[in-house]
Amino acid sequence: MQEILKIHFPGKLVFGKGTLAQLPDEIVALSAGRVLIVTIAPLLDQLNELIKTLEAKGVKVVVNTSITQEPSFADVQQMMQEVNVFNPDAVVGIGGGSVLDVAKLIAALVGNEQGLRDIAGIGFLKRRPKKLICLPATSGTGSEVSPNSILVDETDNQKKGIISPFLVPDIVYVDPLLTMSVPSSITAATGLDALTHCLEAYTNLFAHPLIDVYAFEGMRLIAAHIVQAVKNGNDEEARTQVAMGSLLGGFCLGPVNTAGVHALSYPLGSTFHLAHGLSNALLLPYVMEFNYVAAPKRYADVAIALGCERQADDVKTALKGIEKIRELIRDCGIPARLRDVGIPKEAIPQIAADAMKITRLLKNNPRPVTEADAIEIFNAAY
């Protein structure tokens, strides 16, 4: 089943080791006299040179490091109060998915008559007044090339998407060297998140041949290199290949998007504050077990992308792929069970009910998921 394909690519994409050094010239070329950099404190040492160079070129720079976990509506509104006073010409996001999601929203909201609550949902944002540049510092969310920002709504504790082509940045720099300092646990969780983007796009009810190309290659690159990137964070080659896989996963998010794994993982993040990538990794093999019967050929292709040998038929090949995912999760040192991360069993009915609200992703799943199915999947993952 194919819907009309719409892809909004960034205006410019630069991929390569050490490309961060080219960023000051890029910013100056935008005639941006005032620049807000949204980032995290651990990256400040790596960004010193960038900030110094910009200031030497007469650019006023304000750095904001207030986003330290999955952001909420309140976090963005709080940041807006400070940013409105500065009124930057350009916003630069350098960090993981949470930082990039917020940078995208700030660029959209500064100088905009629309407020944050006006743009929540799909397609409500009418314009983005400020220039936007994104640099991922993890290989995971693909936010740097997606039209999505995800926030926790503190009024009902649900994760909500703000989705608009105006959230796709003008310029994206992917410098794999920025990911070198990421701790192994975060490398593992974000890498498996990126793998899930590719896998859910490939097995999606609305899968598309053009996106299949990105999804298949993204799975192949991440599966082949993630364990090495986790075990030896100084391996530039492994980091580069996983960064490319993550970028390809990001390209899957706008036109096709994710499905059951992400829908079921959202309540784990909003209720128990589990990192997004970890939530996905905990559920991925169990949702695959639920789904593969509805799309054995697609799941067999997934197994091949993951490096498995083709078996006697699609079902047997698909099962090898699920086995391979379990191996990758184990070899990356990620917990395999909900009980290992402190989720109480009695919470399952509520998180299943909450997951049912994520209809924008559930509708993409190759097999319909009822609330009873969700409870069964969570129990299997327990």
CA distance 366 to 309: 24
- Residue in 72, 69, 170 with CA at minimum distance from that of residue 117: 72
| 143 plus 240 within the same structural domain | no
| 77 plus 162 within the same structural domain | yes
Render the burial of 240-262: b for 16+ CB within 10 Å, e for the rest: bbbbbbbbbbbbbbbbbbbbbbb
| 136 plus 213 within the same structural domain | no
Q: Which residues of the chain have pLDDT under 70?
A: 1-2
| 47 plus 127 within the same structural domain | yes
| 210 plus 109 within the same structural domain | no
Residue that is last in its domain, among 179, 213, 243: 179
For the chain, what is the domain count?
A: 2
- Residue in 184, 185, 178, 162 with CA at minimum distance from that of residue 73: 162
| 92 plus 207 within the same structural domain | no
pLDDT at 157: 84
CA distance 233 to 279: 22
| 158 plus 34 within the same structural domain | yes
- Residue in 212, 278, 280 with CA at minimum distance from that of residue 249: 212
Residue 196 belongs to a domain with what CATH number?
1.20.1090.10
Bridge partners of 135, per DSSP, are 94
* Residue that has been written with the tokens 């719409």 in this structure: 6
3-class SS letters over the chain:
CCCCCCCCCCCEEEECCCHHHHHHHHHHHCCCCEEEEECCHHHHHHHHHHHHHHHHCCCEEEEECCCCCCCEHHHHHHHHHHHHHHCCCEEEEEECHHHHHHHHHHHHHCCCCCCHHHHCEECCCCCCCCEEEEEECCCCCCHHHCCEEEEEECCCCEEEEEECHHHCCCEEEECHHHHCCCCHHHHHHHHHHHHHHHHHHHCCCCCCHHHHHHHHHHHHHHHHHHHHHHHCCCCHHHHHHHHHHHHHHHHHHCCCCCCHHHHHHHHHHHHHCCCHHHHHHHHHHHHHHHHHHHCHHHHHHHHHHCCCCCCCCHHHHHHHHHHHHHHHHHHCCCCCCHHHHCCCHHHHHHHHHHHCCCHHHHCCCCCCCCHHHHHHHHHHHC
pLDDT at 278: 94
Residue 95 belongs to a domain with what CATH number?
3.40.50.1970
Inside any domain, residue 1: no
Inside any domain, residue 6: no
pLDDT at 36: 98
- 116 and 80 Cβ atoms separated by less than 8 Å: yes
Residue that is last in its domain, among 158, 179, 200: 179
Inside any domain, residue 70: yes
Inside any domain, residue 150: yes
pTM above 0.85, yes or no: yes
Bridge partners of 64, per DSSP, are 38
Render the burial of 131-141: b for 16+ CB within 10 Å, e for the rest: bbbbbbbbbbb
| 339 plus 240 within the same structural domain | yes
| 221 plus 257 within the same structural domain | yes
What range does the domain containing 367 cover? 184-381
Residue that is last in its domain, among 127, 146, 179: 179
| 201 plus 221 within the same structural domain | yes
Inside any domain, residue 5: no
Inside any domain, residue 2: no
Inside any domain, residue 121: yes
| 92 plus 237 within the same structural domain | no
| 81 plus 201 within the same structural domain | no
- Residue in 278, 255, 166 with CA at minimum distance from that of residue 207: 255
